[in-house]
Amino acid sequence: MPTIEIVNQENKKVGSMDLADAVFATDINYPLVHQVIKAQLAGRRQGTAKTKTKSEVRGGGKKPFKQKGTGSARQGSTRSSLNVGGGQNFGPQPRSYEQSTPKEMMRGALRSALSDRLKAKRLLIVDEFKFANAKTKVFAEMMTKNFKLEKVLIVDEKNLNLELSGRNVPKVRVLRTEGLNVYDIVRHEWIFMTKKAVATITARLSNEA
């Protein structure tokens, strides 16, 4: 069972805690992480690209020239895909790119991503984040002066002042525990988690849950 230090928002040690092996010390399954990220990004695609077919293009009701005697190939409509301004054959149509991913695969990928961050010593446990008001300047000063880190993912329970303070800070993302996902873990170099967030995520991802 790995043990990790707990710091406050001034980056001073205030204690330590044990992390669950089933969540933070599992074997890292990189192919699973890759598969879940692909599915997650595919689900974000709009899928609204569309072209008009011959039947949807306006006009073309009249036969452009007589069937025989012109020396040209017969034409029934100017809206044919062979003509400029005509419809398109086999063009893109609205569709969903979502991929079905079993919940246990998503949980397994989260365990792998969290274990990788702990193994790389890029997981930081913070006692709690306290902000009297939602002030971006105060939050930014905390990150630059106390922690001196970039590309940080912060995970906490519902904390509106923290969320509002950090939403406009470059290279920092604040998520609630229910919004934790593999893609955001991988794209940020550091993860800050509060003690409450660790307890909630452990309960959600442990095999006993």
**Span 124-181, pLDDT tens digits:** 999 999 998 999 999 999 998 999 888 999 999 999 999 999 999 999 999 999 999 9
pLDDT band at 67; cut points 50, 70, 90: very high
**Among 172, 202, 148, 189, CA closest to 11:** 148
Q: Which residues pair with 191 in a beta bridge?
A: 123, 153
Q: Which residues pair with 124 in a beta bridge?
A: 192
Q: What pLDDT sits at residue 61?
A: 84
Please tell me whether residues 141 and 188 are part of one structural domain. Answer: yes
What is the number of structural domains in the chain? Answer: 2
Please tell me whether residues 68 and 135 are part of one structural domain. Answer: no
Please tell me whether residues 155 and 177 are part of one structural domain. Answer: yes
Between strands 123-126 and 190-194, the pairing is parallel
Is residue 208's pLDDT more than 50?
A: no
Please tell me whether residues 147 and 85 are part of one structural domain. Answer: no
CATH of the domain at 177: 3.40.1370.10
Q: What pLDDT sits at residue 60?
A: 82
What's the rounded Cα separation, in Å, for the pair 177 and 60?
57
Structure tokens at 89: 């054959």
Asked if 6 and 127 count as a contact pair (C-beta separation under 8 A), the reply is yes
Is residue 200's pLDDT more than 50?
A: yes
Stated as kind and residue range, the H or E segment containing 116 is helix 103-119
What's the rounded Cα separation, in Å, for the pair 107 and 102?
9
Q: Over the stretch 119-139, which tens digit does the pLDDT of each residue have?
A: 999 999 999 999 989 999 999
Please tell me whether residues 70 and 139 are part of one structural domain. Answer: no
Asked if 184 and 207 count as a contact pair (C-beta separation under 8 A), the reply is no
> Which residue range(s) make up the domain with 133?
3-44+100-205
**Among 152, 162, 109, 124, CA closest to 17:** 124
